[in-house]
Amino acid sequence: MANHQTFISYYIVLILVPFVWSSNTLTANQILSISSNLTMISPGNVFELGFFKLAGSNTKEDGERWYLGLWFYKASSKMNPLWVANRESPLYDSKGALKIYKSNLVIVNQSGNIIWSSSNAVVPSPPKTSSVVAELLSNGNFVLRYSGDNRGDSFLWESFDYPTDTLLPGSDLAKGVNRSLTSWISNNNPSTGIYALLSKNQEMFLLDAKSSPVYRRSFGLKTPYALGNGYYLQVTYDGLLQQFPTTREKTLIWHAPRDDCDRYGLTCGSNSVCSLEKVDVHEVAGCTCFKGFKPRNWWRWWLRSMTEGCQKISRLNCTGNGFQVLKNVKLPDTKDAGVERSIGPKECRQRCIEDCSCTGFANVELDCFLYSSDLVDLRTLQSGQQLYIKVATSYLDLLIDGDRTDSYEVVAARVQRIEFLTIAEATNEFCDSNILGKGGFGTVYKGKLVEGTDIAVKRLTRMSDSGTSQFLNEVNLISELQHFNVISLLGYCFHSDEHILVFEYHANRSLDLYIFGSTESSKLSWKIRHKIIKGIARGMTYLHHDSCVTIIHRDLKVSNILLDKDMNPKISDFGISRLVSRDHIQTNTNKVSGTRGYIAPECWSDKIFTKKTDVFSFGVVILEIISGKANYKFTNSKGETSLLTCMWRNWEEESLLEVVDPSIMDSSSSPLTMIQIVRYTQIGLLCIQNIPQDRPTMSSLVVMFESSTELPRPKPPVYFNSDTTYSTFEIGSTSMSTTMSSLVRTEYSTRHTYNVLPCVNVRNFNRASSV
């Protein structure tokens, strides 16, 4: 930059023209020096151009620095200038000046060296009758032109071509040579920082240090890059795009990126729409595939890693395509889009139909945007635009019919909503051979996703329309639960009156298949059984005490315990009883949901489910696991019809070996095994105590299994059998009649046998082998 000739000319000018002026032009024989304290002011007193100072740290190298800049007329010095000429080469003292030298604008320092020049190019000398002048225009553009030229656009140079971090109204990023904004490096250093704003494919992109998009602004598509009058845009040093009104007061009216949906490619991949969901007090970004599309990778999608985006469920047949409309969205990136001017919506649509590679279109005023690849960077926006996405008509009919209530502005649940068609495909259209189990709540199918993942699909019994919001509430609730011994919900679906839950599939299916299956039971050693019992206790403790909400299972039973490939128990079907039974409860208040053999006695009279009723069911499960017998159909040679009474008697008589599942006691059993079995039986008996207060809590059960502390003695169980329309309490043992009669007196009546009014329709309690 050093130029010895400048040295001379600078002093010549300085000496010859001791000039003071207040105008918006600088002629070839004038200078604007720092020491003069003068500035140039645009017509209309909007902008002011002059030297300004930024204080550095105290080291000499980083002392005060002087720059030539533009700011709003009389703006506070706290407001950073809108344009900086010599952003990379400040003056380090207050001795310097701006002038015109060889038809260029230059800034010289005290020793006359040029430290900044508007251009390195040699500008042709002006015609004889003319000279070069610099002028600050009313829009803030600082230009160099021939004095003879009557304005117009024929500038020799203009500051709008070299913006710093601010785009002023009237400037246009798409015009001129590479116009782009670059952030300051820090709040008090205007040299080039890491963020840039440039226009590409008719849109604005905010780029980071790696030139990757951070944010894309598609606005006012008609004149996409110019700002509306009265506003300017600024890129902050820390990567925000901000918009302010063109006033001295810096009032932020808009900024981006505002949230995770704004961040380009951060949250959602292609062919999906990003929207914000309210989770408690937080807003969380989530993605929804377009209709007729599905996640490229379900697993990662379910883990909420959605950047891989979605793909078409089936290939489009070029002849039979329709469009789904997305309202109020930010239009996708136009990088692969064609634009046809002056075309109305009808013709735009027609062009997309005729072009097999067209994936969608949008019509903004009379501009038709035809997309030809995956659609990226979409989000819901309150005052967004309409996008038409091509789908096979077969999907369209189905989806429009079934998903009337759907809206892209609402994502209802935290887990993924899955297309009905995807589920139908995975289960081979709910083929009977894929049924894993059937129960009161619906049918469970095994499914296989296209990429090979196994799933368990629970197709709930049909619910009324109003059941959908209840269903979604429940889905949200279940999806919150994360515990090793509690099954994970992967997704849900509702479609017309279908309500479907999708769970992990567990290879070894459910516990009942092992303990009640004569051949399979040999596979369950005591080691595995006691691991299962402890696992259930941990999972139930989580549901009762540790999860965000208290969950009463209401239907704990061996067939609701699933086993993973390592035989770890996973509790399933919690809460669902509430979901499905709600409608029933209104029509028939006499029904008690639950499963015969597992229902605590107080449920029959009070019809109230509590944590302690779950403990009762768990007690039955423990005793079933130990005995290998199902309580609900138990009989033995002694005429006992209750597993619970039988187990209690044998425990009391210390003859437990008679009722323990023979396949537990193999050659590897040690005396320790038997001690453990006795203790676990005792714990099981404590769970089935008649009075709820006598039953331990789930969390105390976990401690009982782990420790060897002394346990209370269980009282004999009171059991009633609901095989018939009469339900009969049966007293455990006649030898205990003294104890029993007092129990019965306080709890029910003085009679040993007690008839309960038929409050349950037994047929509703098919044993549900549910997954």
Ligand X SMILES: *[C@@H]1O[C@H](CO)[C@@H](O)[C@H](O)[C@H]1NC(C)=O
Residues 276-305 that bind ligand X (CB under 6 A): none
Residue found under tokens 């009546």: 749
Catalytic residue among 165, 262, 512, 555: 555
Considering only 34-42, 116-124, 395-403, 495-503, which stretch makes contact with ligand X by CB under 6 A?
Answer: 34-42
Instruction: Tell me whether residue 319 or residue 433 sits nearer to ligand X (CB atom).
Output: 319
Which of 15, 122, 177, 672 is close enough to bind ligand X by CB under 6 A?
Answer: 177
Instruction: Tell me whether residue 178 or residue 589 sits nearer to ligand X (CB atom).
Output: 178
Q: Taking CB under 6 A as the rule, does residue 2 contact ligand X? A: yes
Least Å distance, CB 38 to ligand X, is: 8
Least Å distance, CB 404 to ligand X, is: 25
Residues 57-116 that bind ligand X (CB under 6 A): 92, 109-111, 113, 115
Least Å distance, CB 637 to ligand X, is: 31
Give the whole-angstrom CA distance, residue 81 versus residue 696: 72
- Exposure of 58 by Cβ count < 10 A (0-12 exposed, 13-18 middle, 19+ buried)? exposed
Instruction: Tell me whether residue 278 or residue 565 sits nearer to ligand X (CB atom).
Output: 565
Instruction: Tell me whether residue 15 or residue 253 sits nearer to ligand X (CB atom).
Output: 15
Least Å distance, CB 430 to ligand X, is: 24
Q: Is 333 a catalytic residue?
A: no
Edge-to-edge, what's the strand order for the sheet holding 321-330?
A: 282-289, 272-279, 378-380, 321-330, 385-392, 360-364, 367-371, 337-340
Using N-to-C axis directions, what is the helix angle for 643-652 and 671-687, rounded to 10°? 130
> Which phi and psi angles does 471 have, rounded to 5°?
-60, -45
Other C-beta atoms closer than 10 Å to the C-beta of 475 total 24
Instruction: Tell me whether residue 92 or residue 237 sits nearer to ligand X (CB atom).
Output: 92
> Which phi and psi angles does 548 have, rounded to 5°?
-60, -30
Residue found under tokens 């849109």: 203
One symbol per residue from 525 to 564: x for binding ligand X (CB under 6 A), - otherwise; what is it?
Answer: ----------------------------------------
Helix, strand, coil percent content, the chain, rounded in steps of 5: 25, 25, 45
Least Å distance, CB 175 to ligand X, is: 13
Least Å distance, CB 559 to ligand X, is: 16
Instruction: Tell me whether residue 92 or residue 720 sits nearer to ligand X (CB atom).
Output: 92
Which of 279, 325, 450, 507 is close enough to bind ligand X by CB under 6 A?
Answer: 507
Instruction: Tell me whether residue 567 or residue 698 sits nearer to ligand X (CB atom).
Output: 567
Q: Taking CB under 6 A as the rule, does residue 178 contact ligand X? A: yes
One symbol per residue from 228 to 247: x for binding ligand X (CB under 6 A), - otherwise; what is it?
Answer: --------------------
Q: Report which of 566, 549, 581 is spatially closest to residue 768, judged by C-alpha positions.
A: 581
Least Å distance, CB 88 to ligand X, is: 12
Q: How far is CA 227 from the centre of its chain?
A: 33
Q: What stretches of 605-758 adopt beta strand conformation (E)?
A: 718-721, 727-731, 754-756
| Angle of CA points 200, 206, 208, to nearest 5° | 120
* Beta-strand relationship, 367-371 and 360-364: antiparallel
Least Å distance, CB 117 to ligand X, is: 12
Q: Taking CB under 6 A as the rule, does residue 180 contact ligand X? A: no
Give the whole-angstrom CA distance, residue 321 versus residue 352: 10
Other C-beta atoms closer than 10 Å to the C-beta of 588 total 11
Instruction: Tell me whether residue 175 or residue 523 sits nearer to ligand X (CB atom).
Output: 523
The amino acid present at 524, given as its one-letter code, is L
* Beta-strand relationship, 203-207 and 189-200: antiparallel
Number of chain positions touching ligand X (CB under 6 A): 21
Using N-to-C axis directions, what is the helix angle for 671-687 and 526-541, rounded to 10°? 30
Residue 47's contacts (CB-CB under 8 Å, 6 or more residues apart) are: 41, 70, 71, 72, 73, 82, 136, 138, 140
- Exposure of 308 by Cβ count < 10 A (0-12 exposed, 13-18 middle, 19+ buried)? middle
> Which phi and psi angles does 647 have, rounded to 5°?
-65, -40
Which of 3, 9, 27, 36 is close enough to bind ligand X by CB under 6 A?
Answer: 36
Considering only 33-41, 231-239, 548-556, 673-681, which stretch makes contact with ligand X by CB under 6 A?
Answer: 33-41
Least Å distance, CB 567 to ligand X, is: 6
Instruction: Tell me whether residue 17 or residue 507 sits nearer to ligand X (CB atom).
Output: 507
Instruction: Tell me whether residue 95 or residue 304 sits nearer to ligand X (CB atom).
Output: 95
Residue 527's contacts (CB-CB under 8 Å, 6 or more residues apart) are: none
Least Å distance, CB 388 to ligand X, is: 20
Which of 341, 346, 565, 763 is close enough to bind ligand X by CB under 6 A?
Answer: 565
Residues 13-32 that bind ligand X (CB under 6 A): none
| Angle of CA points 279, 281, 282, to nearest 5° | 60
Q: Report which of 711, 701, 707 is spatially closest to residue 545, judged by C-alpha positions.
A: 701
Strand-pairing partners, residue 94, are: none
* Beta-strand relationship, 378-380 and 272-279: parallel
Which of 523, 545, 713, 751 is close enough to bind ligand X by CB under 6 A?
Answer: 523
Least Å distance, CB 549 to ligand X, is: 32
Residue 513's contacts (CB-CB under 8 Å, 6 or more residues apart) are: 520
Q: Is 391 strand, coil or helix?
A: strand
> Which phi and psi angles does 203 have, rounded to 5°?
-135, 170
Residues 307-366 that bind ligand X (CB under 6 A): 317, 319-320
- Exposure of 480 by Cβ count < 10 A (0-12 exposed, 13-18 middle, 19+ buried)? middle
Give the whole-angstrom CA distance, residue 104 versus residue 133: 9
Q: Is 614 strand, coil or helix?
A: helix
Instruction: Tell me whether residue 565 or residue 763 sits nearer to ligand X (CB atom).
Output: 565
Instruction: Tell me whether residue 64 or residue 497 sits nearer to ligand X (CB atom).
Output: 64
> According to the annotation, is 128 in a ligand binding site?
no
> Which phi and psi angles does 7 have, rounded to 5°?
-50, -50
Residue found under tokens 């990226």: 376
Least Å distance, CB 34 to ligand X, is: 9
Residues 686-715 that bind ligand X (CB under 6 A): none
Q: Which residues of 126-140 are buried (b: 16+ CB within 10 A; e: fewer)?
A: beeeebbbbbbbebb
Residue positions forming the annotated binding site: 458
Residue positions forming the annotated binding site for ATP: 458
> Which residues are tagged catalytic?
555
Chain contacts with ligand X (rule: CB under 6 A): 1-2, 35-37, 92, 109-111, 113, 115, 177-178, 317, 319-320, 507-508, 523, 565, 567
